[in-house]
Structure 1
Amino acid sequence: PCSMYDTLIRAGAVPDPYTGENEWIMTPLSDEDTEFSRTVVLPEEMRTADRIFLRFAGIDTLADVFWDGEKLGSTDNMHRAWEFPLDGKAGEGDHSLLLYIHSPTRYIAEMQRKRPLWGVEHAVEGYPHIRKAHSCFGWDWGPKLPDMGIWRDVTLEGHTGGRILNVRYDQCHEEGAVTLSCRAELDTWKPGMTAVWTVTAPDGKVFSMPLTDGKENIRISDPQLWWVRGLGDQPLYRCRVTLYDGEREADSREDRTGLRTLTVSREEDRWGQEFCLINNGVKFFAMGADYIPEDQLLPRCTKEKTLAVLGDCLKANYNFIRVWGGGYYPGSAFYDFCDENGIAVWQDFMFACATYRLTPEFEATVQAEIRDNVIRLRSHPSLAMWCGNNEIETAWVNWGLPEDPEAREDYLKLFEEIIPKILGELDPAAFYWPSSPSSRGGFRDPEGDRAGDCHYWAVWHGFKPIEEFRRYHYRFCSEYGFESLPDMRTVRYFTGQEEPDLCGPVMEAHHKCTGGTEKIMYYLGQMVNYPKDTARLAYCSQLVQADCIRSNVEHMRRARGRCMGSAYWQVNDSNPTISWSSIDYFGRWK
């Protein structure tokens, strides 16, 4: 993986965008097109395969792909995988692979001129027009760095006789037993190919059987159930599908899954309708935070960073995490960790704070994205629920958006028709929630406190005192928070100054929240004497942040039964900045 910005930075051709005011030097570079190329030599064993495929796990975003000067196709969505057949094009010798990536900012500017769409003020105008991580265009915690490149792995795959496209596992639970079903989608072009399914239990017991027409069921007595952290252990069953050409293994795929039920209960009660995660029939209080991209430059989002963030979550006693919809769908390392450690995942689809128009082209690429990610993630036992978007329903109702009947109608079509229909086909047991916050969808009181989830920002954005938390009784609070300065070493890194001025231009460049400095000083003044220097100010701001989070966490836990979930905004940072995070960009705890 590599990108335009990251490559130039590593080559020393441009300055670090995370220091000083260098962001403003870097942003205009996204107006240029970029080429990535390399020479490829295929190993002999791959050249003898019947079929060869070039597979990109992620291209960012508008790319033309060329092999030996011949155009294989174009891409328009960074949130999905792309595959190109190389039949008859992959012989002996050197081959050239070239990606010509078109400027995302020029593209959205042209689309915005043709058909304006609403988005948040902190981002480059027009970002809803492209299926690219919205936060790359800037957010109220991140710089405007609309990068382009190859942000996930590239592979060459050779197959003879056939291949496994994907595998789906369904579960039917009864007293003392679980029926596990396997459905394998096979792509075979040679007659007589066979498939075998093998399940290895956590205790080592092995079940093996042929897949007839790609389908089979097994009944597991006395199953070892998978539990959310704090309720029990996380035993995982290894499921392997192998495709054979006679006795030759043509392809195989191995997944791990847990035997469990995990969904959201919405039973009627004396306060309205609960919103409560329930695992194997046991309701539990969800404790965690909201997760954002680990870096503004996506090739830097590594497995090591993912495991570091989630390891910190484990130390803080999380049993839940919400993947925010303005970034990207996490890689397998994220979900594998949550599977192994019992962290329930709320997974947003990647739509946030924007309006969209469902042109035929846009609808087609969105449907492909949804299908790709549901198929990729559905077998993970930690996946508790899917959510359509972040804050778009409440934006239509409460934020004074420009009148746009077409986009409003398309909202309902996308989030309350198209996505649920795809989930019903590909992951029918999954719980789906149309937006966050929401009471039940359909623009019906999305910030209500009788049903669904809420985002509470009167404390901080509304300048309300911290005690105001106790006046409200949410069913599930999936966003609330408070800003602070990061560790002083981080402040000195991005300012390059020993004693930075909180209101100086460099500090302001790294504080994206509108009026954020004023808010920090306002709340600080209510709780402590004004510190004498920036180091004391940074530390005191973290104390106030901690007290704010503590106050609402304790309020919600006292209301357990009525409120069944707390996810504060936000656990991590994507860059060195002043934000709501509890861990800064360098992994330093506040």
Structure 2
Amino acid sequence: MKHTAQIGEGWSLEHDGTHLPAQVPGCVHTDLLAADLIPDPFIGRNERDIAWVGRRAWTYTRDLPAAQTSDEAHERTDLVFDGLDTAAQVTLGGAELGRTRNMHRSYRFDVTGRSGELGVTFASAYDEAAAVQASAGQRPNAYPEPFQYIRKMASSFGWDWGPTVVTAGMWRPVRLERWSTARIAQVRPLVTVDGTRGRVELRVDLERTATGADRRLVAQATVAGTTARAEADGDTVTLVLDVPDVRLWWPRGYGEQPLYDVELTLTADDGPLDAWQQRVGFRTVEIDRDADEHGTGFTFVVNGERIFVRGVNWIPDDVLPSRITPERYRTRLEQTAAANVDLVRVWGGGIYEDEAFYTACDELGLMVWQDFLFACAAYPEEQPLRGEVEAEARDNVVRLMPHPSLVVWNGNNENLWGFRDWDWEEALDGNSWGEGYYLGLLPRVVAELDPTRPYMAGSPWSGSWDHHPNDPDHGTYHSWEVWNRQDYTEYRSNVPRFVSEFGWQAPPAMATLRRALPGEDLAPDSPGMLHHQKAEDGNGKLNRGVARHFALPEGDFDRWHYLTQVVQARAVATGIEHWRANWPRCAGTIVWQINDCWPVSSWAAIDGDGRLKPLYHELRRLYADRLLTLQPGADGPELVLANQGAEPWSCDVTLRLMRADGTLAARVSLGLTAPAREVVRLPVPPEVTPATGSAKEYLVADADGLRALHFETRDHEFGYPEPRFEIAVETVGQERDTVDVVVTAQTLVRDLLLQADRIAPHARAERGLTTLLPGESTRIRLHGTQGAGANTIRAALFCVEPA
């Protein structure tokens, strides 16, 4: 039977003539940090001081001892690297085993009967990129770093939310595999379902030793009590398992996520040789891209159910990805699911994530949209990159295809759009730029290896060159003009078929800033704040976003920090409420972004230290099955009930016309029903509609604990009263560290926010932005208070104030 041994221990990293202890999996940065030889790049402006690490070569070594007697029973010994970052030379006993140039592949070397010093020398990624650029020629990109010339995590070269920390090292496990006769080299499970009958077709590739070339081998597979057995014909064998009465895997919110163990064994006459095990789920998935009266649709259909996607974009959770543990994946994805998200897009400037990521998504019912790793650049299609791209695609399609959560392969991020709109065409002057990958190579690989899933050429993409790549009426759409140049109310100016990127920035939590910028007198333009703001004119866009609605606070960082959080949450809410109200014409939104890779001002809902921003709590409301919203209409505000639930939503909606001074002007109650998976939209009755442009009255809609507001003017024009409220602190159970903060409003209190991390770094509140009418109370559960009193808690409470 095959024997596997991890060899993560005993490695050394050469540095200035000395040998440092090295951790594998890991990278040069994590080893230098552990040795206290570089400062933490996340703190202050240390990023600049460690830039040299990515610009030199590094060598790892360890002893590979001779095989023990027990090991000699195996005919073959392979040295397997699951991930080498990136351009590496592998040697054993001074002789070269091979060279690599792709972070996103695995590598296998025959080391049978060999021993000695094992060495892995990594060239500078900059040197490798320069060599490829010299051969292939210059190509345009969106950032001043050479990431398109090397098959490496593009965002390690910096992004508009990330630092430039160019890594090197064995970032995934290393092991020795000892085997005889034959081994299972690759398994492709094609999983389909027809009604309640499932089918698993296992296409198995084998590798044989010379003595095993003609031996009779038998493969046997079992799933859900069904067994198939077949004799291997050469180096391949196919087993088909028809499974009756299977339960369907559903996205969260649509059903359960049953998973089935598939167990495969390979045997010879004298016993077992190898085994493979994986979990699969039975479900169908397609994307309806049919033309209609509005253009070209883009609707996910899972198990025959048409779905409005409630999605988020995912970036690597750490700029040093070897630090992302299975537990960290699970925590972040559980947070994502708790925000009522049902799809996570793995963005193309990052990595094909670890198995733990996709396993968690399988179990949590989070659909995965997987980009191939191309982003914001023109990529050469010549060798050596072309061969690497195909090998990488084949590696990862086969590795990830067992996961039922994976619902679509996407060719690239923004490159088709970039070619058309970012002045690339003239600069390229006919040179290759990646189109052959996205419209040729990658769809062929997917069709060959994983025909059970849809492929699309890119995001955004209208489906063909007959339409602009980012045409909102055709296919997927990225909405960045609003953040870059307009007010967030402009999200309502169109109804895209599917919004696969849009978002608005805000700083991280205050405790995250204090940890990342120790001792700094915080201001929007203080040195550390500017360094941790990577977007072009990011602070200018933040300030303009605030100033369009509020008086921009001068010299009051706390107020500025609060208002930027409010605007971020409101901006995303404006888009999602509008687009959900236009289902089924618009069939999904994928917010940029759920997570961060370091402490930074960004579009994230969860900051780089894992703290929840107000946007996160707003996503929970926006992505809930039932959404109540008031939308501007041609003849006044309209009431919308968007019901993504499986059952009809019948409720009494109370509409109140309120005056700014807290008095009630008019009230109407409506009994309404929104059918399952449908939207109901109707005009607000005139008697509760605020006068056009009124700064003294506003509309409130309430139903089943949900609330929607409509103001005719922007905040700095509205006649807000000076907010007044009382608070009481109530201990919860016997735990002094958990309290309920009860806030009772005496006036209109809009967008009340308890910033728990201001009380204690690890404190957290279970609520985000909340609006109270005069006389109303709300209860905010607060954890990790360390016995804080009412005055301390009050100091962490913010709300909208008169201009």
Task: Write the distance in 1 (CA, Å) between the matches of 2:495 and 2:186.
Answer: 43
Task: Write the distance in 1 (CA, Å) between the matches of 2:220 and 2:561.
Answer: 56
Higher helix proportion (structure 1 or 2): 1
Aligned mate of 1:335, from 358, 366, 381: 358
Does the CA contact (< 8 Å) of 2:104 and 2:392 recur in 1?
A: yes
> What is the aligned partner in structure 2 of residue 252 from structure 1?
275
Higher strand proportion (structure 1 or 2): 2
- CA shift digits 1:271-307 (9 cap, x unpaired): 1221011111111111121000111112212222211
- The 5 Å alignment of 1:331-480 reads 331-401=354-424, 403-405=426-428, 409-442=432-465, 444-462=467-485, 464-480=486-502
Does the CA contact (< 8 Å) of 2:223 and 2:241 recur in 1?
A: no
- The 5 Å alignment of 1:94-105 reads 95-105=116-126
Q: Which moved more, 1:206-215 or 1:438-447?
A: 206-215
Cα RMSD for the two superposed structures: 1.8
Task: Write the distance in 1 (CA, Å) between the matches of 2:203 and 2:193.
Answer: 18
> What is the aligned partner in structure 2 of residue 120 from structure 1?
142
In structure 2, the CA distance between the partners of 1:288 and 1:162, relative to structure 1 (3 Å rule), is: same
Q: CA deviation at 1:210?
A: 3.7
> What is the aligned partner in structure 2 of residue 169 from structure 1?
189
> What is the aligned partner in structure 1 of residue 107 from structure 2?
82
Aligned mate of 1:209, from 229, 234, 242: 229
- Relative to the length of structure 2, the TM-score reads 0.70
Does the CA contact (< 8 Å) of 2:157 and 2:164 recur in 1?
A: yes
Task: Write the distance in 2 (CA, Å) between the matches of 1:3 and 1:242.
Answer: 35
2:549 equivalent to 1:527: yes
In structure 2, the CA distance between the partners of 1:294 and 1:176, relative to structure 1 (3 Å rule), is: closer
> What is the aligned partner in structure 2 of residue 262 from structure 1?
285
Q: CA deviation at 1:315?
A: 0.6
**Gaps spanning 5+ residues in structure 2: where?**
1-24, 614-803
Task: Write the distance in 1 (CA, Å) between the matches of 2:419 and 2:176.
Answer: 44
In structure 2, the CA distance between the partners of 1:225 and 1:525, relative to structure 1 (3 Å rule), is: same
> What is the aligned partner in structure 1 of residue 155 from structure 2?
135
| Matching residue's letter, 1:393 | L
Does the CA contact (< 8 Å) of 1:193 and 1:243 recur in 2?
A: no
Q: CA deviation at 1:362?
A: 1.4
SS in 1 for 2:164: coil
- CA shift digits 1:401-441 (9 cap, x unpaired): 26245666452211111111111111112211111100014
- CA shift digits 1:522-556 (9 cap, x unpaired): 11123334445323322321121111111111111
SS in 2 for 1:107: helix
| Matching residue's letter, 1:159 | W
**Gaps spanning 5+ residues in structure 1: where?**
none
Does the CA contact (< 8 Å) of 1:412 and 1:442 recur in 2?
A: no
Q: CA deviation at 1:477?
A: 0.3
Q: CA deviation at 1:225?
A: 1.3
| Matching residue's letter, 1:158 | R
2:86 equivalent to 1:65: no
SS in 1 for 2:442: helix
In structure 2, the CA distance between the partners of 1:135 and 1:81, relative to structure 1 (3 Å rule), is: same
Aligned mate of 2:198, from 178, 181, 189: 178
Q: Which moved more, 1:43-52 or 1:354-363?
A: 43-52
Q: Which moved more, 1:76-85 or 1:532-541?
A: 532-541
Q: CA deviation at 1:239?
A: 0.8
Aligned mate of 1:497, from 499, 511, 519: 519
| Matching residue's letter, 1:501 | A
Aligned length: 580
> What is the aligned partner in structure 2 of residue 35 from structure 1?
59
SS in 1 for 2:434: helix
- CA shift digits 1:20-78 (9 cap, x unpaired): 11111111222211011112345543343111111111100010001121110000000
- Relative to the length of structure 1, the TM-score reads 0.95
Q: CA deviation at 1:108?
A: 2.2
| Matching residue's letter, 2:484 | H
Determine what percentage of the aligned residue pairs are the same residue.
Answer: 34
Task: Write the distance in 2 (CA, Å) between the matches of 1:335 and 1:43.
Answer: 37
| Matching residue's letter, 1:32 | R
Does the CA contact (< 8 Å) of 1:169 and 1:183 recur in 2?
A: yes
2:250 equivalent to 1:230: no
Superposed structure 1 runs of 4+ greater than 6 Å apart: none
Task: Write the distance in 1 (CA, Å) between the matches of 2:69 and 2:356.
Answer: 31
Q: Which moved more, 1:25-34 or 1:342-351?
A: 25-34
2:78 equivalent to 1:53: yes
SS in 2 for 1:165: strand
- CA shift digits 1:437-458 (9 cap, x unpaired): 0001447411112221000012
Q: CA deviation at 1:198?
A: 3.0
> What is the aligned partner in structure 1 of residue 166 from structure 2?
146
